[in-house]
Structure 1
Amino acid sequence: MQRASASAQPAQASSTASGGAPAKPRSAAGVFLGRSFVSLCLATLLASTGAFVFTLLPLHVRALGMEEGRIGAIMGAFFLGTLLMMPVTARLVARFGCRAVVSGGLVVLALSCLVFLVVDTAPALLGARLLQGFGWSAILIGTTIAATLLAPPDRLAQGLGIYGSVFLLSQAVGPWAGEILLGLFGSFQAVFVAACVLAASALLLVGPLPPGSAPKGAPAAAGQGRPVAMMGLLLATFCLSSGFGAVMAFIADFVALSGIATVAPFFAGYIITGVAIRLVGGGYLDRFGRRTVILAGAGLQVASLGALAGLSAEWQLWPLGLAFGVASAIFAPALQALVVERGSDRARSVTLYNSVFLSGVVFASVSFGLLARATGYDMVYLSAAGLAGLAALLVAIAAAEPRRPPATTAPPS
């Protein structure tokens, strides 16, 4: 199975082989504009935009006469379905390959969008969201594994960063497109059909995806076979994703309770910096080494979440969103790349990372909601900042290169 060095040594070695200074990272465009990688990103963009259109689903559910409790359960069923299906998805990828699994996930997602045209009861809506989650799990795991296969080994974090920027774009485009359709047609029927069309259209782009699930023939990366270190990296992932979940779940309500009219500046700053860093500066995620990059991102998340707890004016949302976007764009691709490199099986490593990340988001949605009710949102974000600090400590320990015994020389004969 092909592995990249955690410190991106191949890239540095090639730049210094002739005795010169290390070469600057190549641009993202120069490395990743091949047909397969572009097709992967476009297919993922279409599918994820269709999925994120359902951010507006609570409006439809409330219009059917259901209250907050059922709305939360219906929305949460999507994440539950995604989590439940992930172990199965990993086995399917190992057996049938990325292309087949992603194709199957797109078919399930497209059909599940049509189910919403004919159901209007809570149990049926729960079932439809679970089905969406099953399809999304196949798409998420299959496309992520494909991204690790298509990215050059010494540009793994950069490739995952560019791939990840697609989700940021779809988070913005999906709800916006859904609102336009609602305005034009006045009904969610058009939204559901459009989501189905987006997922089905992505099927036209999966042909260039790699049919297999794992590269072969390269030596293992330093640090493989250290389960305690891997557990530390996964726990750090959980802590950092909890901060992400705290922001996504509660910042709109926090901003409103703070007397601020709109949360839009925060998300604008978050998406702008997140996409820009992944697309323009992604090469530096590999150049400076996994441990250094993750620690920098975790430290910035500590600062941004801690500052968010003291929010008092609308103008502060811009710098806070920018900082949070930079933090996520730095640590997420590098941490995912490190987990993939340290794992002994690529499909399993990708599944573990995504499962743990999503578990952290769900944990934050539940536990921080209870904490907010008891103490207020300022303690939520201070606690999330503390978890990010714990993640930095875990990475500092778990991502350290294993010590090698000193070289010995034979005594002269």
Structure 2
Amino acid sequence: MISDSLPKLETSAKGRIWSFDFTICWSVALAYYIGYFMFLPTLPPHLVSIGLSNSEAGLVIGSFAITAAVTRPLIGVLCDRGLAKSVILAGLAMATVAAAGLNWARAVPFLVGLRLLQGGGMSAFTSANGMVVANVIPSSRRGEAMSYYFLPQGVGMAVAPLLGTLLLEGSGFGIVAYSAAAIMTCSVLLATRVSKAASRPAESGPPKTTLFCKSAVQPLIVGFSVYVAWGGLAAYLPIFVYDRQIGSPGTFFTIYAVVLFCSRFFAGRVSDRYGRSAGIYGGAGLMVAALLIIAFGGSMVALSIAAVLLGLGNGLVLPAFLALAVDKAPAEERGQAVSTVAMGTDTGTALGAMLLGPIVDAAGFVAMFIGAAAVVMAGLLVFFVLSKIEGDRVISNCRTCS
């Protein structure tokens, strides 16, 4: 049982979002994601440059998601036992060590080990940090707050890949790795300021030992289907663009990141005002449209339109299904709920390239993007059916949340 000597965290249905702990968690996330996304465009060419084959490089890159997905449930249990701050610090420390180590590792087993460590660190940090945020935000503004909370991810995605590329081309991968590690060290120092009160479950209750939060099944399905599509898109869009000679994949991802960043300022309010289903159906629908435009567009203009729709769609759907997971979970199970949903997004991202890749080989890129859109639509269909079966009022009206 969590010690009763800890100060009680006061939250209310109506209150401010930018509390001390929320601001600290937001700042920690910003530093982490800048360091994390510096590896997005730099690690693959580095692995090839040190002698790895394409398949070996793919193994190293993909191994990241294994520990990220597998460790989520256990991390959720630890967070619900009042250990969120310790988990945050441990996760950030793991990510920092792995970032620095990627520069000197050369053998595939060592590289895979570092990526597994990096994935475990990400799993620990994002789950625990998300649980703390869920504890300190007002319930009536949960969707809006979650949207603000994901702003650092958009900033990191917009800024860090360009920064990493400039460092790689100017000074080599070593500077990239050590710079990322230095930035992540700042996140560790900031995380020490998270309060003990924010790290404990919002309400006292018997500690749970289950590794899977049943109340999070619906948002898990949405997150999994959306991120299967994202995993395939991230893996094959650059190849598709170069193959068709229709522009630059960098331009696509820059537009996407900028729109995603801007959407964080308003998209979360949609699910607060109109219900979680509005954000989920609206956001996922925009993502389906974006995938179909990519499949049939065939020009940089079409890619740009698709990037805008994809950014808006992600901006709507992500805070909506994460807020729904928190809405539906008992207060003492919020850590498990966040971890369960994150496990779905991790698994979806990892499986996206593997599930959709054979479609590229067998039927081409157009069929793959159509398949990705179909996965999202299937996830929405399952979500709709489960919503009707359960009759969850919280999905259509978040004002019922406590």
TM-score normalized by the length of structure 1: 0.83
Matches within 5 A, 1:116-155: 116-155=102-141
Q: Once the 2 structures are TM-superposed, how far is the Cα of residue 128 of structure 1 from its aligned partner?
A: 1.2
Residue 41 (structure 1) shift: 1.2
- Per-residue deviation, residues 42-90 of structure 1 (Å, max 9, x unmatched): 1111112212222211121111111101100111121112122222322
Are the equivalent residues in 1 in contact too, given 2:29–2:152 (CA < 8 A)? yes
Q: Could you tell me how far apart the structure 1 residues matched to 2:284 and 2:173 are?
A: 40
Q: 1:31 to 1:320 in 2, by over 3 A?
A: farther
SS in 2 for 1:73: helix
- How far off its partner does 1:281 sit? 4.3
Answer yes or no: is 1:76 the counterpart of 2:62. yes
Deviations 1:233-292 (A, max 9, x none): 422322122122222121111111122131233223311221112124432331111112
SS in 2 for 1:399: helix
Q: Give the AA of the match of 1:149.
A: N
- Residue identity over aligned pairs, in percent, reads 24
For residues 205-227 of structure 1, the C-alpha deviation after alignment (integer angstroms, 9 at most, x for no partner) is 12442432421279xxxxxxx95
One of 178, 183, 195 as aligned partner of 1:193: 178
Shift of 1:232: 4.0
Task: Give the equivalent residue in structure 2 for 1:214.
Answer: 201
| Structure 1 unaligned regions, length at least 5 | 5-9, 12-29, 219-225, 405-413
> Within 5 A, what are the aligned runs for 1:366-377?
366-377=354-365
Alignment of 1:4-153 (within 5 A): 31-55=16-40, 56-153=42-139
Secondary structure at the aligned position of 1:282 is classed as helix
1:203 and 2:192 are equivalent in the alignment: no
The answer on 1:289 being equivalent to 2:278 is no
Residue from 391, 394, 397 that aligns with 1:402: 391
Q: Report what 1:313 is aligned to.
A: 299
Correspondence 1:357 to 2:345: yes
CA drift of 1:230 comes to 4.7
Shift of 1:388: 1.8
In structure 2, what residue type is equivalent to 1:54?
A: F
In structure 2, the residue matched to 1:262 is: 248
State the match for 2:4 in structure 1: none
In the alignment, structure 2 segments of 5+ residues that lack a partner are: 1-8, 206-212, 394-402
The equivalent residue for 1:16 is: none
Contact 2:151 2:264 in 1 (8 A): yes
After superposition, give the CA deviation of every residue in 1:331-379 in whole Å (9 maximum; x if it has no partner). 1110111122213411111111000111111121101011111101111
Q: Which amino acid aligns with 1:402?
A: G
Distance in structure 2 (CA, Å) of the matches to 1:236 and 1:137? 19
Amino acid at match of 1:325: G
8 Å Cα contact 1:258/1:311 also seen in 2: no
Equivalent AA in structure 2 for residue 32 of structure 1: I
Cα distance in 2 for partners of 1:403, 1:350 equals 19
Distance 1:240 1:113, change over 3 A: closer
Residue 326 of structure 1 pairs with residue 312 of structure 2: yes
**Match of residue 385 from structure 1:** 373
158 and 314 in structure 1: CA distance in 2 versus 1, 3 angstrom threshold = same
Q: Secondary structure at the match of 2:71?
A: helix
Q: Is 379-388 or 205-214 further displaced after alignment?
A: 205-214
CA distance, structure 1, for counterparts of residue 168 and residue 251 of structure 2: 24
Task: Check whether the contact 2:144–2:266 (CA below 8 A) recurs between aligned residues.
Answer: no
Moved more, 172-181 or 30-39: 30-39
Letter of the 1:38 partner, please give it: T
Quote the residue 1:21 is aligned against.
Answer: none
User: How far 1:174 moved relative to its partner?
Assistant: 2.0
Q: Highest Rg: 1 or 2? A: 1
Q: Distance in 1 between matches of 2:31 and 2:131?
A: 18
Between the aligned partners of 1:359 and 1:321, the Cα distance in structure 2 is 23
Q: What's the C-alpha RMSD, in Å, of the aligned pairs?
A: 2.5
Answer yes or no: is the 8 Å Cα contact 2:216–2:337 preserved in 1.
no
- Which segment drifts farther, 299-308 or 66-75? 299-308
- Opposite residue 350 of structure 2, the aligned amino acid is V
Q: Secondary structure, in 3 states, of the residue corresponding to 2:286?
A: helix
Query: How far apart, CA to CA, are the structure 2 residues paired with 1:317 and 1:160?
Result: 28
Closer/same/farther in 2, CA of residues 126 and 154 from structure 1, 3 Å limit: same
* Residues 293 and 334 in structure 1, CA contact (< 8 A), matched pair in contact too: yes
Residue aligned with 1:120, SS: coil
Q: Distance in 1 between matches of 2:336 and 2:170?
A: 44
Q: Provide closer, same or farther for how the CA distance between residues 256 and 184 of structure 1 changes in structure 2, counting only shifts above 3 A.
A: closer
Residues 293-319 of structure 1: CA deviation (Å, up to 9, x unaligned): 211112222222122210211111111
Letter in 1 for 2:37: F
CA–CA distance in structure 2, aligned partners of residues 351 and 230 of structure 1:
9
Q: Name the aligned partner's letter for residue 120 of structure 2.
A: F
